[in-house]
Amino acid sequence: MSIGSLLILPGDGIGPEVMAEVKRIIDWFGEKRDLTFDVSEDLVGGAAYDAHGTPLHDDTMAKAQEVDAVLLGAVGGPKYDVLDFSVKPERGLLRLRKEMDLFSNLRPAQCFDALADFSSLKRDVIAGLDIMIVRELTSGVYFGEPRGIFTENNERVGINTQRYTESEIDRVARSAFELAMKRGKRLCSMEKANVMESGILWREVVTEVAKDYPEVELSHMYADAGGMQLARWPKQFDVIVTDNLFGDLLSDVAAMLTGSLGMLPSASLGLPMANGRPKALYEPVHGSAPDIAGQGKANPIACILSFSMALRYSFDLGAEADRLEKAIEDVLADGVRTADLLGQEGVTPVSTSGMGDAILAKLDASL
């Protein structure tokens, strides 16, 4: 019996390579755990532009609205830099997020013990790190109007508008509080209320929402100070909630704390559908890495962990997500490494598919 429906969008660059390993994991759950999914596959980003002249075909968008979860690899590449902004590969991803109303972006930063020495930070600073950044995803400066490049007084002016409504802040704040309730019951909200009116409103609304979650300890921090504190002592945080722009920046800072972008997944969640499941898109934090595409060097772990997040948040299969994450942890403990994680003595270098082989072997051992 099918657990639910998945739309796979491998995308560009290393996207198809890392997604190939995810598809092997999905097949394993069907064969060994009797957890089957209705899987369909389509194009996004540059691949979609090459085929259809648009980074996301309307038919693909319609499919994404109907399935329980979308798994995306990566989009973009230098061959598309010459395209008009309106049809660049990244516009396909932004359309998915916007039209699916995926307003809550979950970006975990977790340091596996085997990789604690791989970070640029000291082991005692990074070992045991397990934080979650909740980034508002469908509003703010990336979507606000007016925007564009205009001519004023005989010179060009670039304009982007930071805009948030009370309801947009309220709903992402509630998603962060709900997540904090399931974790350490600590939430830090980050903005720039000292210089931005949108930051003042953000702080006021989050403070109001906190009244509905008296068990959660709420703190506030300016986003620039938050970036500094993430680099100084990241384990002081549990859940961080912030806006679209600051979330983009802070989540990439948190990503590098763990040593490699190739290790970090993300989930983008929206409002519940008729079946009660939230609309959801899962993707690795890393980009398309065109410089290593097709060489078997890409680390598939971030994409596999994105599927683990789908198991947890879209399909209520927390125990199976734990099983997959433990398999990854055991593989890393054995010293198995893709190219992005080399540099330590006594490790075993493997290709993209070699990492998939090792994880599947650990999954077999878990039965």
Residue 248 a catalytic site member: yes
Which run of H or E residues covers position 3?
strand 2-11
Name the DSSP letter for residue 79: G
For residue 170, the tally of other CB atoms under 10 A from its CB is 14
Catalytic residue among 192, 279, 297, 362: 192
Catalytic residue list contains 252: yes
Catalytic residue among 27, 252, 322, 357: 252
Bridge partners (DSSP) of residue 5 are: 38
Buried b / exposed e over 35-45, threshold 16 CB at 10 Å, is bebebeebbbb
From CA 327, how far away is CA 365, in angstroms rounded?
A: 9
Annotated catalytic residue, options 238, 248, 330, 340: 248
- Given 50, 224, 322, 357, which residue is catalytic? 224
The amino acid that residue 185 corresponds to is: K
From 42, 49, 88, 142, active-site residue: 142
Residue 192 bears catalytic tag? yes
Give the C-alpha distances (Å, rounded to integers) separating 75 from 68, 90, 103, 245, 301.
21, 6, 20, 19, 17
The string of DSSP letters for 271-316 reads EE-TTSPEEEEEEESS---TTTTTTT----HHHHHHHHHHHHHTS-
The residues annotated with a catalytic role in the active site are 142, 192, 224, 248, 252
